[in-house]
Structure 1
Amino acid sequence: MSKVKTGLSRKLLTRVLSVYFILTIIVTIGQIFTEYLSTKDHIESELRTLKNTFAESLTRANWELNKVQARIISEGLTKLPIVEGVQVRDENGDLIADEGRTIPSDGQTVQAGIMRDHPGGVFSYSFPLIFEFSGRQSYVGDVTLYSSFDIILSRIEVGIFFLLGNAIIKTAFLVFLFMTAFKHMLSEPLSELSRQMTSFDPEHPEEAKITVIDNDDNELRMLQHSFNQVIDDFIVSQAKLTSAREALTQANRKLDDQNLILEQEVAKKTASLSQIMLDLEQQKDELIANQRELRQENENRQYIEDELRKRNAELAKNNEMLNLIKDQLVESERMASLGGLVAGIAHDVNTPLGVGVTAASYLSERIDALRLAYNDKTLSNKTMATFLDEAEQSASLLMGNLNRASELVASFKQVAVDQTSEAQRTFNLNSYLHEILQSLKPTFKNTQHEVRIQCPGDLYITCAPGVIAQITTNMMINSLMHGFENKPAGHISLTISRDDTDIVMEYQDDGKGMDKASLEHLFDAFFTTRRNQGGSGLGTHIVYNLVTQTLDGTIQAFSEPDKGLRYVIRIPDRQD
């Protein structure tokens, strides 16, 4: 008997152990990965805890533009075991501090705490720096703390070694146990069974029956009975085969007789088929002619379809070009509106700053005179009292004008930032509308027009604030330019209310109004009644797109000549 190259017991043992090895590796890797995730979550929690510790000092440093203090705090953070790098940015996204192992900033503003994973096993936690002043929150920058896979590995290194050692010991013991069991229970009995089966003699099949050494009633015992039964069946089959050979010889003689009869019938059928083939050939020629005509017609239709596709492609290209030009004009209109606010705010801020400079100069002169009198020993109680009165008046004048300038700049800054940003947030609509009105005061400064806003003080809305600012600004500027043209004094009212599902904004002016024909084209792009005076016709079109597309709302306009213009805007209430 030749020796087998791959024994069944060895193959079975290999597969069993392979499955066990794979399961052991998967479980071990799963345990290591679970340990890694747990440690990473713990480190991320520690990074969030660092925010509560250092956010206030970094916010104060950014607000006071103290870059040295920010860098000192950043260097201190990198000394912590879980921190490999620190980035501190100001409100414009410029780096103030970049210490340790960091990733180049993508320039996006951080509005809330966020965890990010980076290439190279680095992950970070970013949070904004918000400074509260006079009840108002101002974004002054953000901080990004970096950690890495190396820090996590250093914490779980001992646990990994323990898991690997445990898996190796259990695997070695199981291999030894399986090899011993397979050898005694499978390999040796199968070898003896194979030896007996190879001694099979077809001439004496009754002597080829086998016996199994193992006395247990198992699969080997069943294989013995099955093989011995096959031997018995083989003996019976040999006897049946002999009788079948004789019957087959007689059947062959009868088959030869039937073949002669079939050959005669085939000759008759062949003649009939030849005639049928001639008829089919003629029909084939007719079908080929019809196919040629259909092919020519299909080619003509294909040519027409290609021409139509070319025309459609040209039309689509022209349509894309028109949309691009339209978007550029809309963006230019938005920037022009913001530029008008900048000019008005700059002019209005100039007045309180000029008064403040004058008061500060006068106070400086009085201090010099007081110091001279003190040095000359001629300082009297009356002089001192006079100086204190003048100083108090100058300080009060200086503080009042600087506060006025600060309020103007803060209002304009909030509105300007919102108009150039599409980020959504939840804000108080009443306060924000008054900030918009504050930024528009320079525009109405030299007029006698009155603007009145009625809005619930506790009404909050969730959307991009710049959309509300753009809508309100465009409606008021349109009233000023078109509705109050040649009218010295006018009235504008903006009333906000909330029903079951919507926030309703009703805007009303008492300007010259519009006729029915003009009202039908009010929201059309490039429609304007002041084309020869520089009007772009995009103001109301921008308002319509912002309400219907950005806010998913509706807008209606109502007007009659000399009865003013009224807008009714309904916005879905998304405030939780």
Structure 2
Amino acid sequence: MKITSISRKLLTRVLSVYFILTVSVTGIQIIAEYFNTKSHINSELLTLQKTISGSLTRAVWELNTQQAIDISEGLIAIPMIKGITVSDEANNIITQLGEVISDHTTEEGQDVSISTDHQSINSLSEGLFGHSFPLIFEFSGRTTTVGTVTLLSSNDVIFSRIEVGIYFLIGNAVVKTAFLVFLFLLAFNKLLTEPLNELTEQIKQVDLNDPEASKLHTMNYEKNELNILEDAYNNLIDELVDFKDKLALSQRETISANDKLDEQNLLLEQEVARKTSTLSSNMLKMEVQQQEMLNQQKQLEEENLRRRKTEDTLVATNKELKSSILELSKAQDRLLDAEKMASLGILSAEVSHEINTPIGISITSTSYLSDIIAKLHQDINEQKLSKKSIETFVNNAEQSVELLLNNLNRASELIASFKQVAVDQTNDKIRLINVAKFLDEIIQSLHPKLKKTNHTIKVHCAADIELYSHPGAIAQIIINLIINSIIHGFEHINRGEIIIDIAMEQQRLYLTYQDNGRGLSAEELEKLFMPFYTTKAEHGGTGLGTHIVYNLAIDTLNGAITAKSPENKGLIYEMNFPDMRYS
């Protein structure tokens, strides 16, 4: 197996960190030197601006183009200046020498910062930077801008100035790194590699027959981890010598123990012979006991046979009970359906009776309208038609038509509400319903029963709440609760009030139904949802109304329902069921 040197591995990691740190610091120094030199060149450009601005301004003002060109040629000869552009006040170029920033770069790659008297230019894409300043001519206390001068330098100038410094930084980093590598190699070899090799050689020469002579000798005079390892190894040798002494003593004790063991074996053989005799006697007793156990097992088998016959009888009885329970469940379903149809029949009778009034009025209005039309026709035939008779006919006809329309609309609303409720109650299909509008239809269908009382129903429901569910089940729940309140809750109460609160939260509809009737006692409340429990059995009550409500809320709507009756505050039902689009 290839051996990895600890000192080499440690040296590699230390020098890797040092190399990365050296490269980073050198790079930062070069960048700092670059920006510092660039700042000095910008300062020199500003100084040069102050020097030439006067002569260039006069040359441009006097339209002395040749002088301006001469000054520009003198400036471009300076190594620091890589480009110069002189233009007049209309931005027409008078002279342009050296490097020029292209228009595309000026629009997209140039960083320009404006001060009061010059513009700083920095073109990253072309490696150019500099200043652009106006030429201002003063005459009779007035100042006039006569043109613009742009002085450009480049990154090549910067690099030429800092080239020596860069070589010095890199050389310095290389020399320091090489010296550090040599220093670390020397230190690791002296302090780690050589002591470890010496320690390894001494360990290889260990003589197990003479451990005392195999102790390690002191390798250096410093107290470090290698001295700790040396001490630990020498302690192990001492423990090995002690173990050999103890092993010799143990062998002598073993010989003595073997002699004692022979004596014990003789005593043990005598004891075994005695125990064997006792065991024979016990075996005879066990045979007698085994015979008794066989007799008991026979009795147990007879008892199991008798119990098996009893179990078969119980299984047959259980089947009969299951059949009876199934029949009872079917009977209960039939009773529930009958209760639903009974409430629908009562509702139908009430609506039919209520429709008689608007239909009768409509028939009377139609008959009267027919009579006045016949009278008008007679007047026309006998040529007795007058303005007054026509006005009378029109007034009477308008009143009859208005009365006819109002009563027919009233009958149509009753029929439509009853039709929707009836269809929903006999149909288990799921559909999208507007809860507020649907509750209005249910209450409208109960109007014939409510108008005979002074009770009121208040519904608190937002107009935009919609639910995808069983409308028939919801209608049956609301109708049963309202009828229960009228029959039971508002008994001996003239002006009862029912409040229905609707809220929609997290795809669940929360419905709270509350009346201010007589309420229920704790015992009655506990039995409220039990089938066939009623307080009006003598008046024909079936006790299935609230049981149907419970089954519809739990099974059909996949929801929950609870009831409570605060003292002197009537009865409160709290229900919630999901929107079946999301369940």
- Give the TM-score normalised by the residue count of structure 2: 0.48
Q: Which entry has the higher C-alpha Rg, 1 or 2?
A: 2
Q: TM-score, normalised by structure 1?
A: 0.49
